Homo-oligomer: A and B are copies of this chain.
Amino acid sequence: MSDIQGWGQGEDDDLLFADEDAPDPSSANSGTVAAPWKLLIVDDDPEVHAITRVVLNDVSFDGRRLQFLSAHSGGEARAILNDHPDIAAVLLDVVMETEDAGLRLVHHIREVLGNRRVRIILRTGQPGQAPERQVIVSYDINDYKAKSELTAQKLFTTTVAALRSYQHIDAIERNRQGLETIVDAAGTLFEQRSMDRFALGVVERVAALLPRATGAFLCAVPPGPNPEDSNPEDSNPEGPGPGGRFREAVVLCGTGVFAEATGRPVGAVLPEAACADIAAALARGRSLHRDDHSVALFQTQSPGPGALFIGGHGGLPEVERRLLEIFCSRMSVGFDNVSLYEQLRLAQIATVHALGKLAEYKDEVTGEHVRRIGRWATAIARELQARGTCGGDADDRFCELIGLASMLHDVGKVAIPDQILRKPGKLDPEEITQMREHATIGGRILRDASGPVGGRSYLSMGAEIAESHHEKFDGTGYPQGLAGEAIPLSGRIVAVADVYDALLHRRPYKEAWELAAVVDLIRAESGRHFDPRVVDAFVAVLERGGPEA
């Protein structure tokens, strides 16, 4: 069923479908609860190790027993502490290889390892070497015992108190770290404008939030009847059930063991019962947690990203479940923002395209000329940016804006009388003068429009292009007869793109030219009609197959 390594092998039988009302059998954090507390005994006297183990052997706190680690010197203890950052408490002798080996270890733990969670109980046989009053104030320890006073009962009490403190601090610390991960995710992910990258970021961040998970993925909710219409109680892991539809759902992006799953159907990635869990979570409208995996949901206003599947976590404690909920609720806002932004961008492109095309409505219905100009202008601009031949003029913002701006190059034509625009034959000098006004008029229309937007926008760049796309590099163009770099770069780019596209395609007044003839003409006009650097960039784009669609 599943071919993702570490996933789904023989697990189908263990994953039974949860009854809606029955308690979730995996609610208890069995995975976490089973792990013992690690207690490090540091003492140069082997007998102390033996006695300590005997006395504390049957200690159990919050359902977890003790695992003893032993070090016989400060040096040995450092190595063990390095390998076990999750040691709960240290029972620490003072005098070992040196008279203050224990006290030095305290400093090492707190300052060098930066471990402020582990509880340190100092127990000394020679209180003279480490006077209690001075040591308790000067060292970051949590209890001080003279071995002489340390009865079995007292050792038991101080150990349990240490475990309790450790448990508490560890829980808040993990919570704090989880919140930091979320805050961090909110900071960097919310800069994303693309849904794909945002979604991948979300999956990567959930892996950072739940580090024990072996992988996570997002899947789109497949179209079909509302999952609430299907009754999870009727489901049968053997039959198609509600999980059936979700086997067809596609993985949008994944990490860890699911890193290669992107684009594949969920059914090829998860065992059937886990697919059913995704369906069940969506049907209930809330997260679902199992012993080994969880399904979390996003509450988005816009059509949502579907479900988040987290695998191989070995049981999520309450703290992490809550963090996961907070994470998903914050990320929901992010999905809505990216979706709104994409929606706005789509509408913007469509509107600008409609605006550019409107002026050509009379001789070209499809508006493909306008769209192609946008793509060519962008490709030439990016090529100039990569070559650096136009200095700072072709910056990122320039390349972003020129696609929309260039679509508007001919809007001024709307003011030209039909009998001139549609005239089949040659225009007389009076008509040519009138026709040429479209450049100035287009500039005025777009400059008026750009006013309230402020700054550098595709409307202000569109005005610049409308005004200057009939100027020629040698100064023989119109309306102003500008030459060289006095013509805005945007206008020099659109001049090439416009002539190229106009010649290559049929118009009411002319046939389509052959590509080779068009390119020959553009090359011949390099330095006359066109800026040579723009022609070079154009040829480079053409030679690699034209702009991307």
Contact = CB atoms under 8 A, between A and B. Distances in A.
A446 B358 contact: no
Contact of A350 (B179, B340, B419, B452): B452
Contact of A459 (B133, B344, B347, B450): B347
A272 B175 CA distance: 43
Interface stretch (A82-90, A258-266, A327-335, A473-481): A327-335
A157 B186 contact: no
A349 interface: yes
A55 to B, nearest CB: 12
Contacts of A248: none
Task: Tell me if A's interface is mostly helix, strand, loop or mixed.
Answer: helix
A172 B173 CA distance: 7
A453 B190 contact: no
Contact of A358 (B144, B158, B191, B445): B445
A350 B414 contact: no
A73 to B, nearest CB: 25
A164 B142 contact: yes
A160 interface: yes
A350 B161 contact: no
Residue of A116, A352, A446 contacting most chain B CB atoms (<10 Å): A352
Given A169-B169, A179-B180, A355-B354, A414 B414 contact: yes
B348 A347 contact: yes
A414 B452 contact: no
A331 B351 CA distance: 31
A449 B351 contact: yes
A323 to B, nearest CB: 10
Contact of A142 (B161, B417, B419, B452): B161
B161 A143 contact: yes
A40 to B, nearest CB: 19
Interface string A312-350: 000000000000001001100110110011011111111
Interface in A414-434: 414-415, 417-419
Interface string A187-206: 11011000000000000000
Interface in A151-173: 153, 156-158, 160-161, 164-165, 168-169, 172-173
Interface in A111-135: 116, 132-133
B449 A354 contact: yes
Given A136-B157, A165-B165, A351 B353 contact: no
A347 B458 contact: yes
A446 B357 CA distance: 11
A347 B173 CA distance: 46
Contacts of A417: 418
B350 A450 contact: yes
B354 A187 contact: no
A159 to B, nearest CB: 9
A359 interface: yes
A507 interface: no
Residue of A330, A346, A347, A451 contacting most chain B CB atoms (<10 Å): A347
A372 to B, nearest CB: 16
Given A144-B157, A160-B137, A352-B351, A333 B179 contact: no
A61 interface: yes
Contact of A187 (B330, B340, B355, B457): B330
A361 interface: yes
A176 interface: yes
Nearest to A121: B161
B156 A133 contact: yes
A251 interface: no
A414 B179 contact: no
Contact of A354 (B137, B333, B459): B459
A358 B411 contact: yes
Given A169-B172, A414-B361, A449 B186 contact: no
A89 to B, nearest CB: 13
A447 B50 CA distance: 84
A132 to B, nearest CB: 6
A203 B182 CA distance: 21
Contacts of A183: 179, 182-183, 186, 326, 330
Contacts of A191: 333, 336-337
Contacts of A284: none
8 nearest CB pairs, A to B? A179-B179, A354-B449, A186-B186, A176-B176, A355-B355, A346-B453, A350-B449, A187-B330
22 contacts: A132-B157, A136-B156, A142-B165, A172-B172, A172-B176, A176-B179, A183-B326, A186-B330, A187-B329, A341-B344, A346-B453, A346-B454, A347-B348, A348-B348, A348-B351, A350-B452, A350-B459, A351-B352, A358-B411, A361-B445, A362-B414, A414-B414
